Structure formats: structure tokens, C-alpha cells
Structure 1
Amino acid sequence: MDENNKIKVTLPDGGVREYPAGIALMDIAKDISPRLAREALVAKVNGQLTDLARPLERDAAVAFLTFEDEEGKQVYRHSTAHVMAQACQKLFPGVKFAIGPAIADGFYYDFDTTEPFTTDDLGVIEKEMEAIIKADLPFERFEYTRPDALDLFGKAGQDYKVELIEDLPVDAPLSVYRQGDFTDLCMGPHVPSTGRLKSVKLLNVAGAYWRGSEKNKMLQRIYGTSFPKKSMLDEYLFRIEEAKRRDHRKLGAELELFSIQDEGPGFPFFHPKGMILRNELEKFWREEHAKRGYSEIRTPIILSRSLWERSGHWDHYRENMYFTKIDEGDYAVKPMNCPGGIIVYKSKLHSYRELPIRMAELGLVHRHELSGALHGMMRVRCFTQDDAHIYMLPSQVKDEIIGVINLDEDIYKVFGFPYHVELSTKPEKAMGSDEIWEMATNALRDALETRGIDYKVNEGDGAFYGPKIDFHLRDTLGRTWQCGTIQLDFVMPEIFDLNYVGEDGQKHRPVMIHRTIFGSLERFIGILTEHFAGAFPAWLAPVQARVIPITGRHAAYAQEVTDSLSGKGIRVEIDTRNEKINYKIREAQAQKIPYMLVVGDKEAENKTVAVRQRAKGDLGAMPLADFEAMLLEEISTKSY
């Protein structure tokens, strides 16, 4: 290290420190703070993730990342995947290694083994991982030439690593990481040593095709997770168990809401109670849109090939579409509603005085998904998009975007969803010029900043016809779900030659917004089912109250109560079965019914009901009229 050659390190707070050139990043962390040195997992040097052992040779902006940072978590878990692979190397001689990345909330590694892993193996692998962690082995990085790397992994019989190397460009830099006796092809970076890893849990084992192709060999994939504290791991494992309890597929069957049948994989069936839930959501959606000047339309499910060619879907989205022939012509089942909505707009000439025109559609769309990607109501092959398309003057763009943002906020608030926002920019496969994309992206950015909304930028993740704002909802378990989207489109109006007559009597081009709020009605119902664990707010609950007579002689008054509630528009059931009262209460509780009304001699004599609330338990007796007023108020205010 040259003590006379100084470099400047700029820290995230803007502070600048001088160090000798060649100083290790870990030593800089130690100089800043002993605590930072203990907690830092990796450094970010001029925006590039870098091992803490690496020397710094020139001036740079440096940030140190801990487990609190998302990229720090990924490095932590990717390093844990390497430890798991090392454990498998020792326990299962001859195992071949594929890839082992960090994923959301954990990591996995794919292995080629002669015998499949069992759940019992996971505990044994965990114990070996604990020994490797206790040994505190350093993660060491080595640069290799292509021939040397091929020789290294070829001699070790690691065919998958050889294939990965052969697929890289000839001049691509190759790095190898080693901890103890385990060596892996890896770009890195990694935590300084295995001792930095603390609480580890292997979750399950599954099959996975090499490189995701069913043409390739099926490998064994072990999933796991890791945290720096046991309390954090325990909390995560609790959330996993809670997620299983809330699984919408399980609750959908138990509560008789919806199902997926073998006769229609990926095509949901709604049962009577599920239709009540769905209809309430649609009613709410229609009311909110009517307040804001939307007109509802409906467009056909099947439209001609020429339309999809013009819209660009035939070239850009064809692999996700279904096709048919009618009268020898090619047709497609719509994967999106926008082309149909555009045809409605074009059915007459519009004046600038009419704009903005807001057209909303609960449109059924079909998209081809691989069978392995299907997941209950969350990933299906047909679903209802709560679409809307807004046609506006260029001068109205900002106000209309803000109006949609406000509508999203108002609707999500009703369900108690906090959210964060992401802005997605031009993808590699896109229609339209760079200038149009820049104009559209800046308009979305301007609207977000005017509203004072923090957002994350997703470079290259926009739709093929325009940039977009996405709303990611956070449920009660802390999971996020992308639902609402606002896409600003200057391209489709050009492609479809959309016009309006301006003040000057000439034709001009409108600007278009595509937007959803629920995203997919089916998926949103799945999300709500898990968010509320099936215990929907009273306004959404398929059954809002169940009347339970104590014995058969109380059935007449129970029917009187039922008729009164039903007459007020309350969804009510009566349970007159010859069963014990506690059994009937437990069953109503299991069905997540918001209110149970027990009636016996005293209630019949006083015209009252003994009220049990799903979450609060016994609320005592109250006059029937008072209960009706209380429940109707809860329903009308959409209290949750």
C-alpha cells in the first residue's frame, strides 16, 4: 500500500475522507464506525456492489450496505446459498451444482443428484451449514481465464458450470469464489466470511428443470432463508405458517367462494357466495367511477386478427394469446381490452369540448399461461380487468393522471391497504420513438412529484406502448401485490388514427391513459381473501348475519328476525338444525360470518337479539331495531 498516494472517498451523507490508495473497504468501514464494520455485508463503489475485502485504488463514492438494505439482504442470502452447496458437497459426494441465487425472502440452489433429497435430508444439511458458519471461513474471490475455469470445473465433473462458462462471451471476465474446500463459479459479491451468517432455515425441496426448460433434466431445488437474528427468522417462519392458514385456495373451498377444477385449469369457477363477494366489489367499483365521470362500456371477447396486428399485440404479445377461425378468417380471444375500447371511441367524431372522455370496462380477457405458473386465483388464464381508457387533450394529461392516482388512493383506503409506487420506463421491445417515450415518462413523473408521492424507478419495465405507474399494495402479512397501473400512451392514438376536432376546426390527436385499480378482479379477490383471512368486512361478507334459535320452539321468532333483517337488505341466514347451540355458534364462527344472533325465550319476549360479533365475541342483548341500525351503518360506511 502506497501511504503517499491518497484517495478521496465520498460517503452517502456527502462527507469526504482521505485514505491511502489500496486500502481495503473493510478497513474504511472500521475507520467510520466499529458498529458499521460489524454490520456491513458489502460495499457499493460508484454504484457497483463490491466485496469488503477488495482494495480501493482511486477516488470513489462508497456506501456500506447492511441487512437493512435490500441489496445487502440479497448478498447475505446468496452467500448462504453457497454455504448450503458446500454442505451438500460434503454430505452427498458426487453431487453436481447448477445455480444458487438469492430470491425474495430467501435463496435456493439447484442440484443434480442420483437420489432425490428428502425432507429429512434438510435437517442434516442445516446442521452441516451451522458447522460451516461456526468455522467462519472467508469468502475468497479469484479471477480466472476462460480455459482455466473450464479446466477447473471440467476436472471436478461440474457439467452445469462448464455449460454456463461456454455460454459466456469469450472475453467475459470470470470470477470464482471459495470458502474452505468449496469452489463455485460466481460473479459475487459475498459477505466477508461464513461467520457473518447466523440463523438459517431450509424450507422445502422441489423439482426444477435446468434453465427452466422442460426439455432439460429435472434437478433438485432446495429453498431456504437466513437472517442475522433468530427473532427475525422466527417472525418470518410465523408469517409463512400464517400465510398457509390464509391461503385463498384453502379458504375459497372452505367458505364456498370459488374453485379451480380439472376441467378448466387456470379458469376460475365462482360459487354462489363468491358471486356475492364479486358483485359487491363490482357495485362499489361502478359507484366510485360514476362519481368521477366515467361511462361504462363492454367490448367483444373475440376480435379479428387485423385489429390485433394494428394494435401491435400480434407481434408483441402473440405467445400469450388464444386464436380461432371464423368463416375462414383469423380471430383472437382478447388478452387486453384497449383495442376494443379504441373502436368505441372511433365510432363517432369527438369535439375538444367532450374531452376528457373516460370509458371504463369490466372486461373478461384470456392469456395463455404455462401450467406450472398457474396459482389459484393469483395466476389464471382468464380474468376480468377493471380497465378504463381516458382520451384527453395534451393539456389535460397531468390533471387526469392525478385524478386516477386519487381514485386509486380512495379505493385502496377502503380495504386498509398501504401501498408504494413504482415508475416503469421504456422496455427493449417497444413501439414509438424515444422522444414520445421521454415525453410520456416525464408526464408521469411530474404528476407523481406534484402529488408528493415517493416512487421507485424500474428501468425498462414499461408496457410495449408506454411507460406506467404501478401501485404495489401491502397486505396484513407484509407481502406486496402489484394491482393498480396507470399507463400513458401516445402510440396507440397514432396507430389507430384517433382524432378530435379542436377549437380551430381541425383534427388533432388525443392522448390516451390505460388504467386499472384492482388489476384483475379474480386476483384481487384472492388477495382480499388472504388479507382478511376470509373474515371479510360486513359490507363484503357473503352472509352478514346468521340467526340461531336456541331450540326448536324459538324458530318462529328466529324467522321473524330473519325476515326483518332480509327486508332491510341485510344478507342473513337462519340455522334451525337440531344441534346444540355451541356447535352452531362454532360453525358460524368457522364460516367467518360477521354477526351471530342467538334468540331464546328472553329475546322472543323482549323483541331483542343476543349479539355475538365474529372478532369481539358476546356484545350482549339489544333491541332488533338497534342491531339493524348498527349493522346497516357498518355496511354503508364500509367499515373494516
Structure 2
Amino acid sequence: MDAAKNSVTITLPDGSARTYPGPVSVLDVSASISAGLTGKTVAGIVNGQLVDASDIIDCDASVQIITPENPQGVEIIRHSCAHLIGHAVKQLFPTARMVIGPVIDEGFFYDIAYERSFTHEDLAAIEQRMRELIARNYVVIKRMLPRDEVIRIFRERGEEYKLRLVEYMPDEQQMGLYFHEEYVDMCRGPHVPNTRFLKHFKLIKLSGAYWRGNAGNEQLQRIYGTAWADKKALNAYLQRIEEAEKRDHRRLGREQNLFHFQESAPGAVFWHPRGWAMFQQLIAYLRRRQQDAGYVEINTPDVMDRGLWETSGHWHNYRDHMFTATTEDDRVLALKPMNCPGSVLLYRHALRSYRDLPIRMAEFGKVHRYEPSGALHGLLRLRHFTQDDAHIYCTPQQMNKECRTIVALVLDIYRQFGFTNVHINLSTRPDHRMGDDVTWDLLENALIESLNDMALQYQINPGEGAFYGPKLEFVLRDAIGRDWQCGTLQVDMNLPERFDIVYIDEAGQRKHPVMLHRALFGSLERFAGILIEQHAGKLPAWLAPLQVVVLSITEQVADYAQNVTRALQGSGLRAEVDVNNQKIGYKIREHTLLRIPFLLVVGSREANSGQIAIRTREGQNLGVLHITDAIDLLVKETRAPDLAGRDVTQLGLLERMNTIDGNDTPAVTRELNP
């Protein structure tokens, strides 16, 4: 009877149950299933909680065995590799002090305090020592110890940062320590039971960091790495990283003379003429699409009073990311981090009727946000950038229709840029938010119903919404499998109430409109960087910074080459001429490397006949054409995607989205979700 009392029944994912005479570990459970599974067990999920393989189960429970094939298993491998960095570093550099080593997307890092900067030679030595430690196949031991014992261990080892971390957890009386032979680290876990799981890793790079991410604190060194379940996955990742380096927009921006950055303006871009031409093409394209979709374009001030940001809630929720200044009369002004409040003031400037709604206001607004220096990354992470914001003011009855129209527009525009693999995330109410639950229920349901009406799949990100409303995030997958979160759609009834903006309804009553916040590209600078990397610098001809270059074969035809270039420019083409005294083969090679879509070659024969020889950057010869025919061809080939001349099924896309019913799935949905 006592034995029955102490028995433990384990229910497995397939519904089968096993009874054990007493408490068992996750490893014991896997061993009872098969010897092969035991050798692959990284951890377990017990009653929904991820635990170490050595953890004891002392009551009836549901259990899932985690192996390297599971996503959780790969994450545990990466976390354990971070600890292994600590083991290797302490052996090679005994005076180093370990800080933290978390998992990140596709990898891990460890922050370390050391008296000098690590070198690439040090990084190679650390990786080699890690491989030597892995080869020992040593057991990683977990111990839950009292707080005082943890403090004693780290004090004896001189690990001041670990002691600080303990101080930041005053309520924790029992803490998990993981023993890697003589090395000890602190973590909630879980971790691998043995280093043999860690073979497929690679240290990637070194960088700087700050204690607790604050630039005012002491500087640390960060070692980045990646780890995978097997060699094939690791090699695939390394190949992807190598390809990403070839596509790095910062390098391509230098090579193609598009833009640069410098310390006199950290987090801001200096656009060169060619880059600025490309940037303006993005704006012109989106401006046309928005006009066709019924938007009006506005512009609001960059600097506004603190009181505005207090009303909007940004001062309380976003103050640390805002740039401010105080005037001589002690008035506090802020550079806008968002365009929303300015749009609200413009709406409020006139009395609105329900007949005026929906009002769709678009703005290419410059915003300024403080980002830590270590977070800045070319065009992809800036402090000063342009948002393609729009704010739609509508009645509650119009909300669902407007959401569907926006989603259709977003997906269609992405497709025009070659992004057909788009994932949609629904971010719901965060812990710190404005408004009551009734309002949040209404807004979240509006987004859910819109996506369901369009038969679009989505993933829910609990608690990730803006402080004023839930949002959709549009994530683009690029040519080499990377994901980029770009556009957003947020529904909001809080800001209209806080600013008391109204419209007059059919009964003559004052009502607050629903406010939709919408961005298609997000940051135009960031989207430009993504496009450069997506196309490896070979931007579509309509968007290319320089579309055509005219190359002279001899000095005698320089005047003709100049005249051809002027004719091209007069037709609206972005064209330049190269009459330098170099061989034509050299010129073709150099301008091909610059990824210019069309190379026009002129020699004495072409000059005498008024013709041009055309070739593409891919090396395709398009023949010798008369200059007028050549211009007609090039104008056609460099025309921007637009509603004019598009497929007839797309011309009615937005209209069809406005009248969609549950049985009418739009073309854009069918293509994205076959």
C-alpha cells in the first residue's frame, strides 16, 4: 500500500501512461522508453514546464522528452554553449569576470569583463578550448543551493557581476548553479546533461556591450556564437551568414556610392546623389499607391511641446527614447519619435462629420528616437529616419472594412517588391497599456475578424501590442531566408479619447472616431537597406540609383556619347556617361560590378548611324538599336510598378476587398496561402 502511495504515473504525448514505483528523473523516463532515446535526451517538459533531464518528478505528470530535433532542444544547446564559453574563457583568462550569457535568435552570446580587448586570435583560442572541453564528454551537474551558499561561492571566485545579479533577485532564496567541471555558472536552466550535445557550434564575432545595456555603465566585451542540432544545420547557417555578408547593404552602399555614416551624426545617414535618387523613387512609388487608395498627404512639425506627448502617453511610456530641449522660458520641446500626435492635431483642426469619414492621412515624417550606440546598424537601425505613416479616422462600423483594405494594400505592395512570403503576427494587449479591457476586446476582435474574413493565417504574440492598441506586424522573408518585420497596422480608440477628437454622427451626436495607425515600409531607410540586401545590390531597374551608363569605345565618339546621355536624361532616365580613356572591356566590367542595369556601348559605327549597342548587367546583349528605339525600350524596362498597366485582376483588388464576403478569397490571399 505504501509503495502504491509513492508510485508515479507518467503520461506521454501519445496518451500512453507508465507507472514507476517512486520518483523518477526525466532521464529515467526516457530510458524506460528506449535506450536510443536516452542518448538523445536534452531535457523534458513536465506539466508544461521545461526542466532539466536530471530533474526529479515526484508526482503524477504529463511528460514530453526534448531532443536536439525539438526547437526547445536547440535553444538549450545554444544556452549551454554560452556557459561553455565561460568555462573556456576562465581557463584561458583566469582574471576575466563573467557577466551574462543568454540565447538570441539563431545563437547566443556571453558578456565578459576583462582588462584588455579580446582579439580575433583570442576568439580562435576560445573556440578551440571549447572543442577540447566538449571532447571530454563531461557531465553538466545542476544543484539548487541556498542564496547564502550561492553568494559565498561567487565571492570566493571573485565573480562580482554574478554577485550583482544575485542582488537584483532579492526574493530568490534557492538558486540554480550549473557545474561544468571546475567552472560554475548561475542560471534558471535547463541545460544539456552532457557536453557531447554541443559539438555543432561556431563562434562568430566580438563586439562591445555595456553592463545592463546602459551606456553610462562600464563597458564589457561580448562574444557571439551559434549552435545547431547537427552539422548539416550548422553548415547551412554558416553559408547563409556568408551570403548575408556578400549582401551587406553597408558594403554595397559604399561600392555603389549611395550613402555613408560618420561619427558627427551618429545614427543618421548621409545620402549621396545616387542613393537619394533611389530613396525618392521609393517615396514616389508609395505616394502614387496611396493616392490611388484614397489617401491625402500631410506634413506635421518635427518639434512639439512636451504637453502633447504627455496627452498621447508617449512621455510616460517612451520618454527614454525621446530627444528633448528646453527653451529660455523653461518650455520643454521634443523631437517627435512618432507621427501620430501631429496627425491627431491636424484632424482636430476642423469639425468633422460622419460623411467625411473615413479620412486617410498619409505622411512621410522624419522621426527621432534614441537608440544605444551598440544597437545602431547601418540603415537597419537609426536614430533619425523617415516613416511612411498613415492614420485613418473612421467610424466603428467602417473599421473592419478599412482594416481589410489596408492589409490588401500592404500585401500587394510587398508583392510588387518581390516579397511573396509574408507572415502576419497579431500583437495583443501589453501589461502596461491605456484603456479598459472592453475597448481592447473590441480592437483585438476587429483585427482578428479582418484576417479571418480574408482567410489569412496569423500568429498571436501575447502582450506585444502598443500601449494604446493591438497591432498587426508584417514579417517579410527575404531571398536567403531572413525575416524582417516591416509594416504595421494598429487599431486605437485610446488616443482619440485622450485628445478628445470627434465627429458628428447621423443623430448630431459627438462621437470619438476609431484611429488606425498604418505603416507599409515602416522606416523607409530600413526598407531601402532590406531591398539592397534582398537583391544583392542588383535593384530592379525602376529603382536602381543609376539606370543607364553610356560607355564610349574611343575618344573620337565622346561628344556622341554625351549627346546620347543627354537624350536619355531628357526622357526621365537616370543616366551617366563614361568617356574615360580606358579599354571598353574594363569599362564594361567596372560598371557591371556596380550593378547598373543597362550598359550602352557606342563606337564610331554607332555614332555614324545614330545607334546604340545595349547590354544588361547580366551580360545579355539586346542588340544595336536606333537611339529613339533604344530610349523607348529603356523607358519601358525602367517603368515603376504602378496601377497603370498592371494586371486587370489587380486593378479591382482594393474594391473587391471592400465587398469581400466569407466565400470570396482575394487573389493576394490565394497566392500567399496556396
**TM-score band (shorter)?**
over 0.9
Give the aligned partner of residue 489 of structure 1: 492
SS at match of 1:133: helix
3-state DSSP class of the match of 1:75?
A: helix
Q: How does 1:457-476 map to 2 (within 5 A)?
A: 457-476=460-479
Any conservation in 1 of the 2:69–2:229 contact (CA below 8 Å)? no
CA distance in 1, matches of 2:99, 2:232: 32
Output aligned runs, 1:78-157, within 5 Å. Answer: 78-157=79-158
Q: Residue 549 and residue 399 in structure 1: after superposition, are their counterparts in 2 closer, same or farther (change >3 A)?
A: same
Structure 1 pair 173/455, CA: closer, same or farther in 2 (3 Å)?
farther
Code of the aligned partner of 1:507 = R
Contact in 2 for aligned 1:386/1:516 (Cα 8 Å) = yes
The alpha-carbon deviation at position 368 of structure 1 amounts to: 2.6
| Alignment of 1:331 onto 2:333 | yes
CA shift, 1:607, in A, is 5.0
1:17 aligns with 2:26: no
**In 1: Cα distance, 2:308 partner to 2:272 partner:** 35
1:515 aligns with 2:518: yes
CA distance in 2, matches of 1:32, 1:290: 64
**Residues 376-385 or 510-519, more deviating:** 376-385
Number of residue pairs matched by the alignment: 637
SS at match of 1:460: coil
2:380 maps to 378
Shift of 1:31: 6.1
Give the drift of 1:550. Answer: 1.3
- State how far apart, in whole Å, the 1-side matches of 2:625 and 2:41 are: 60
Q: Could you say if the C-alpha distance between residues 381 and 618 of structure 1 is closer, same or farther in structure 2, counting changes exceeding 3 Å?
A: same
| Paired position in structure 1 for 2:245 | 244
- Residues of 1 paired with 2:556 and 2:572: CA distance? 26
Distance 1:236 1:9, change over 3 A: same
| Partner SS state of residue 317, structure 1 | helix
Residue 284 of structure 2 aligns to which amino acid in structure 1? Answer: K
Q: With structure 1 as the length reference, what TM-score do the two structures score? A: 0.92
Task: State how 1:440-455 maps to structure 2 within 5 Å.
Answer: 440-455=443-458
C-alpha distance in 2, partners of 1:181/1:556?
Answer: 78
Label 1:569 to 1:504 Cα distance change in 2 as closer, same or farther (>3 A).
same
Asked if 1:580 corresponds to 2:580, the answer is no
Cα displacement string for residues 274-315 of structure 1 (whole angstroms, at most 9, x for unaligned residues): 221111111110111111111111111122233222222222
Structure 1 stretch displaced more, 508-517 or 410-419? 410-419
Q: Residues 315 and 122 from structure 1, CA distance in 2 versus in 1: closer, same or farther, beyond 3 angstroms? A: closer
Change in CA separation of 1:56 and 1:616 when aligned onto 2, cut-off 3 Å? farther
Query: Match for residue 263 of structure 1?
Result: 264
Q: Does 1:366 align with 2:368?
A: yes
Cα deviations by residue, 1:181-225 (Å, 9 ceiling, x for unpaired): 322111110123100112222223333333233454433322222
Say which SS state the counterpart of residue 257 (structure 2) adopts: coil
What is the one-letter code of the residue matched to 2:601?
A: V
**Alpha-carbon displacement from aligned partner over 1:364-399 (angstroms, at most 9, x marks no partner):** 122233333332222222211111111111122222
Letter in 1 for 2:244: A
- Cα distance change, pair 31–398 in 1 and its aligned pair in 2 (3 A): farther
Query: What does the per-residue CA deviation read over 1:106-135, in whole Å, with 9 as the maximum and x for residues that have no partner?
Result: 222223334443221222222221122122
Q: 1:634 aligns with which of 629, 637, 652?
A: 637
- Alignment-mate amino acid for residue 45 of structure 1: V
| Per-residue deviation, 1:617 | 4.2
Deviates more, 1:298-307 or 1:234-243: 234-243
> Against the structure 1 CA distance between its residues 431 and 625, is the aligned structure 2 distance closer, same or farther, given a 3 Å change threshold?
same
What secondary structure sits across from 2:304 in the alignment? strand
Contact 1:65 1:71 in 2 (8 A): yes
Sequence identity of aligned pairs in percent?
44
Residue 627 of structure 1: CA displacement?
Answer: 4.4
Report the AA paired with residue 473 of structure 1: L
Inter-partner Cα distance in structure 2 for 1:136 and 1:121: 24
Q: SS of the counterpart of 2:86?
A: helix
- Residue in 2 that maps onto 1:388: 390
| SS of residue matched to 1:189 | coil
Q: Is the 8 A contact 2:74 2:227 kept in 1?
A: no
The answer to whether the 8 Å contact 2:27/2:54 transfers is: yes
Tell me the equivalent position of 2:351: 349
Cα distance in 2 for partners of 1:364, 1:264 equals 15
Over residues 466-497 of structure 1, what are the superposed CA-to-partner deviations in whole Å (9 max), with x where a residue is unaligned? 11111122223322222111111110111111
CA offset at residue 36 of structure 1? 5.7
Deviations 1:155-184 (CA, angstroms, capped at 9, x unpaired): 233222222223313444311112323221
Tell me the CA shift for residue 637 of structure 1: 5.9
What does the per-residue CA deviation read over 1:483-515, in whole Å, with 9 as the maximum and x for residues that have no partner? 111111110111111211212222222111111
> Is contact 1:2–1:22 with CA below 8 Å preserved after alignment?
no
CA 1:591/1:224 → structure 2, altered by over 3 Å: closer, same or farther?
same
> 1:424·1:467 contact (CA, 8 Å) conserved in 2?
yes
Match of 1:615 in 2: 618
What is the one-letter code of the residue matched to 1:496? F
Corresponding residue number in structure 2 for 1:76: 77
Residues 507/140 of structure 1: CA separation in 2 closer, same or farther (3 Å cut): same
- Whether 2:46 is the aligned partner of 1:45: answer yes
Gapped regions of structure 1 (runs ≥ 5): none
Letter of the structure 2 residue corresponding to residue 129 of structure 1: M
RMSD: 2.7
Question: Once structures 1 and 2 are overlaid, which stretch shifts more, 294-303 or 89-98?
Answer: 89-98
Matching of residue 456 in structure 1 with residue 480 in structure 2: no
Q: 1:560 to 1:94 in 2, by over 3 A?
A: closer
The 2-side partners of 1:237 and 1:137 are apart by: 27
Alpha-carbon distance in 1 for matches of 2:506, 2:639:
44
Pairing of 1:531-546 with structure 2 (within 5 A):
531-546=534-549
Letter in 2 for 1:177: Y
Q: Residues of 1 paired with 2:310 and 2:204: CA distance?
A: 46
Distance 1:142 1:403 in 2: 56
Comparing 598-607 with 192-201, greater Cα deviation is found at 598-607
Q: Does 1:226 align with 2:227?
A: yes
Residues 366-375 or 415-424, more deviating: 366-375
Q: Does 1:198 align with 2:204?
A: no
1:296-307 to structure 2, matched below 5 A, reads: 296-307=297-308
Amino acid at match of 1:437: W
- Aligned position for 2:412: 410
* Cα distance change on mapping 1:436 and 1:605 into 2, 3 Å: same
List alignment gaps of at least 5 residues for structure 2.
643-674
Q: Which amino acid aligns with 1:516?
A: A
Determine the structure 1 residue equivalent to 2:254: 253
Amino acid at match of 2:332: D
Three-state SS of the structure 2 residue aligned to 1:588 is: helix
**Structure 1 residues 34 and 561, CA gap change in structure 2 (3 angstroms):** farther
8 Å CA contact 2:74–2:229 kept in 1: the answer is no
1:214–1:286 distance in 2 versus 1, CA, 3 Å: closer
Structure 2 Cα separation of the partners of residues 33 and 495 of structure 1? 62
Contact 1:419/1:472 (<8 A) preserved: yes
Q: 1:626 to 1:353 in 2, by over 3 A?
A: same
CA distance in 1 between partners of 2:370 and 2:546 (Å): 35
